[in-house]
Amino acid sequence: MNILKISTMKINFLNIVHLGVVSSILLLLFVFTNNVSAQTTGAACGTVTCCDGGYWKCPIGCNMDPACGCSYECANGTFQMGCNWAPVSGSMMCVLNDPIGACDTISNCASSPPSGGECYGWTTGPCGGNEYGANCPSTSRSKWRYCTDTGWESTCEYDSACTPTCNSYNFVSGSVSPSVITQGSTATVRCNYGAIVDCIGTKIKNSSGTISDWPNGCTWAGWQGNDAIFNCPANLSPGSYANVCNLRAGTGSNCCAREDEQGSFTVINGRIQGRRYDGCPAGINTSVGGIGSFSLNNNYMPYNLPVNAYSTGNTLTPGTSYNVSFSPPAGYTAQYSVCNNCIDHPASSWVAGNTVSVTTPSNPASGLLFSYVDLYWRCVETPSCTVSLTPPFANLTTGQDLNFTAYVSNIKGGTVSNVTFTSSNPTAVSLSVASDLTSPYQTLAASVSAGSSTITASCVMDGIARGSDTAAVTVVNAMPWWQVEGGAVVANGRVNSLIPETCSGTSCTPYLILDSIGLYPAVLFYKGQYDLGGVNTLAQPSSPSWNSNSIYPFNSYNFKFFDEKLSVVERNTINTNTFSATGFMSSGANEYKGYYVFYYDGSLGDLNLTGDVNVSNRKVILIVKNASLNIGGKINVDTGKGFFTAIIEKGINVNPTVGGTPSATRTPDLEGVYFTNGQFKTGFGDKQLYVRGSVVGLGYSGAVEGALDGVILERDLGSLNSTNPGELFEYGPDQVMKFATFLGERSITWVETNP
């Protein structure tokens, strides 16, 4: 007959009173599948007999046997459930919590459950079974039973019928590396039996022939081909050992047990030993440190030394570095000699120092099971010397050089090989000589930049500085200064330009007025005095030193004079206080007698001139009334063709950004004639201002001419001051020659001066 299989479910029924209700609930909750298999009524299933219709009979020990497939069968649409008892109402007993998932009619169950604490008989399963959590090995069978108070129990029982015949494997190879192993380090062991199996292991055999496991075991490292690889800590006593590969029985690979010896190795350790050799004063206690405790004559090898010997004993690890120190008595220094796995200490082997790092050899000494470092020490009288460095201090300006000399005396315990010189701040002070071999010992200090530095001179003996002296050096930047090329300097007052001492030679000429090619030397005109700094003995007004203490008449030439001249000419009015310099090149500008006159009345405050401009061959006149002119960019002309002049009532202020780095090839920043009733200020900045033409500042304060300094020089180049002026004014003959005739007087006044 066809039997439908039921999907396995676990169903709990509570408080069920009437059998018909139970049946209907069961019918609703179980789900049938379409799987069909044949089952004979009353047939044997496993080791038990099923009920009619393919169901087991109670008691529990029968119908709960999972080996019986008919526990999952249904017949004729009725259900049976395994007999896991629970009380309902009255004396009626029914099954609940069936772990099998099938169901049973009440009529097929026993009238009452087994008495409390009763266990039913064991059911035996297959080899390696896992019923009810038995998890048996392949050599044992699983067994299980049911107890009314504790539920299901399982166990494993060895069965010789489960044990197959072991598998034999032939030994191929074995090895240990390295062949010399430091005590406590790790050896790599390989064993090969021609197959990848889980029964391979490794053991060791000592020199007495005893085979044992590795003291701390080995860790599995993996397979390489058929090589089983192990990492084994060599926590063994120094000596010779053999590797023993083996196969173990009872594993999943079911190997036949065997042992095979192949591969030998030696375990070694190390020591540091030595002697306090000679040179130390008698009766002075000296000690060796950094290597742990030791005692004199402590097992010194290869033979004992009777005097001042020491040894760590065989307690160290070969191939390991150790720092060893020696404490000589006061007034002495130490020397050491090292010999690895030997005791030779020739004269050439001694090195100065009281601390040394030594490494115990990785291989043992000949005939021994350990390696050793033989470390000798001796005392040497401490060399010393005294240094006196002159000058003891110095104040320099950038670019200035000064020679320092070190004198050495009181030399003891050897000879002076050389004197070294160092600068604590090379960016401020650099030295020409770092080490001088001959007396007198000297170095040249060059002041590079502002700052301070300490120069140290040290006398060296046996490669060690034995004495030293210092000198303090302070470096400051040279004071800012200015210079003129090719034209006269005229002032109805004092003239100051502090030419630094470092300005000399071909790179810097220490004259206030430089000669211009093709022109005669110019004259310095001043009133009262001029000051060129006094620190540079070569500084003078010009190459022939022409100067004149006299008054130059400027009274008739001031802003009012030029303003009146220009009031009657055709002008271009500027109606904004910010004017781009390129506006001077406007194609719509009005021209007067070949000149373009631009006028600003000052009603909007000072005039700000922005951007760079080259007026090319155009001739431009800018007049600013009741205000100052702020120049924010470069103004250039085509030499000999263009012309530019600024006539300003209050003052001219040059932006510090207008300028550049000093160079023999760079072009001017401003070209033209710059005239102001007030002050011409170059602006505080670190860029050099290069003007080609003429600059006039009358220094008016109110109606008084000369009450203020007419030209204010504010550029400071820092370290570049040493050889470069902050402002360079070059006479521009073309600009003077192109000055508009309608701005001058036709008469010529001759004034005699006292050169």
Three-class DSSP labels, 673-718: EEEECCEEECCCECCEEEEEEEEEECCCECCECCCCCCEECCECCH
**pLDDT on residue 498:** 92
**Would you mind telling me the total number of residues written for the chain in this entry?**
755
Q: Who has greater pLDDT, 451 or 102?
A: 451
DSSP 559: H
Cα 669 to Cα 612, 615, 644, 689, 693, distances in angstroms: 9, 13, 13, 6, 11
Distance (Å, whole) CA 395 – CA 583: 52
Least Cα distance to 662 among 735, 726, 707, 596 occurs for 726
Integer-rounded Cα radius of gyration of the chain: 56
Decide if pLDDT at 715 tops 90.
Answer: yes
Strand partners, 458: 420, 468
Least Cα distance to 126 among 154, 153, 165, 162 occurs for 162
Least Cα distance to 627 among 647, 611, 644, 613 occurs for 647
Q: Percent of the chain scored above 70 by pLDDT?
A: 78
With the CA atoms of 598, 602, 605 and 607 taken in that order, what torsion angle do they form, in degrees rounded to the nearest 10? 20
Number of neighbours of residue 342 by Cβ within 10 angstroms: 14
Decide if pLDDT at 454 tops 90.
Answer: yes
Give one DSSP letter per residue of 169-217, joined into a string.
Answer: ----EEEEE-SEEETTSEEEEEEE-SS--TTEEEEEE-TT--EE--TT-
**pLDDT on residue 697:** 92
Give one DSSP letter per residue of 431-481, joined into a string.
Answer: ES-SEE-SSSEEEEEEE-SSEEEEEEEEEEETTEEEEEEEEEEEEEPPPP-
Residues 93-126 have pLDDT tens digits of: 333 333 333 334 333 333 344 455 677 788 888 8
**pLDDT on residue 755:** 59
> Is the separation of the CB atoms in 100 and 71 below 8 Å?
yes
pTM to 2 decimal places: 0.50
Kindly indicate the confidence band of residue 671, based on its pLDDT and cuts at 50, 70 and 90: very high
**pLDDT on residue 52:** 38
> Is the separation of the CB atoms in 84 and 33 below 8 Å?
no
**pLDDT on residue 440:** 92
Distance (Å, whole) CA 729 – CA 742: 26
Weakest mean pLDDT among 309-323, 488-502, 604-618, 723-737:
309-323
**pLDDT on residue 82:** 38
**pLDDT on residue 34:** 27
**pLDDT on residue 81:** 36
Kindly indicate the confidence band of residue 89, based on its pLDDT and cuts at 50, 70 and 90: very low
Q: Who has greater pLDDT, 439 or 553?
A: 439
Q: What is the mean pLDDT of the chain?
A: 80
Q: Who has greater pLDDT, 456 or 271?
A: 456
> Is the separation of the CB atoms in 334 and 353 below 8 Å?
yes
Distance (Å, whole) CA 445 – CA 438: 18
Decide if pLDDT at 534 tops 70.
Answer: yes
**pLDDT on residue 115:** 52
Q: Which two tokens stand for residue 338?
A: 């090292």
Decide if pLDDT at 19 tops 80.
Answer: no
Weakest mean pLDDT among 137-151, 384-398, 706-720:
137-151
Instruction: Give the CB-side neighbour count of residue 747, counting CA atoms within 13 A.
Output: 4
Contacts of 537 (CB under 8 A, 6+ apart): none
Residues 376-393 have pLDDT tens digits of: 888 888 889 999 999 999
Distance (Å, whole) CA 374 – CA 349: 12
Decide if pLDDT at 221 tops 70.
Answer: yes
Decide if pLDDT at 238 tops 70.
Answer: yes
**pLDDT on residue 707:** 78
Residues 126-145 have pLDDT tens digits of: 888 888 888 888 778 899 88
Strand partners, 113: none
Average pLDDT for residues 454-458, to the nearest whole number?
97
Residues 29-50 have pLDDT tens digits of: 222 222 222 233 333 333 344 4
> Is the separation of the CB atoms in 359 and 320 below 8 Å?
yes
Weakest mean pLDDT among 333-347, 629-643, 718-732:
333-347
Q: Who has greater pLDDT, 416 or 375?
A: 416
Strands (DSSP E) contained in 506-582 are 513-514, 524-526, 530-531, 547-549, 572-573, 578-580
**pLDDT on residue 262:** 94
Q: Which helix (H) or strand (E) holds 733?
A: helix 733-737
At 200, the amino acid letter reads I
Average pLDDT for residues 284-289, to the nearest whole number?
60
Average pLDDT for residues 252-279, to the nearest whole number?
87
Least Cα distance to 744 among 565, 571, 554, 555 occurs for 565
Strand partners, 671: 692
Kindly indicate the confidence band of residue 252, based on its pLDDT and cuts at 50, 70 and 90: confident
At 495, the amino acid letter reads V
Q: Percent of the chain scored above 90 by pLDDT?
A: 50
Q: Which domains does the chain have, with CATH numbers?
A: 2-108 (no CATH), 125-162 (no CATH), 173-267 (2.60.40.10), 269-377 (no CATH), 384-476 (2.60.40.10), 479-552 (no CATH), 559-719+726-743 (no CATH)
At 611, the amino acid letter reads G
Kindly indicate the confidence band of residue 12, based on its pLDDT and cuts at 50, 70 and 90: very low
Q: What are phi and psi of 20, to 5 degrees?
A: -60, -35
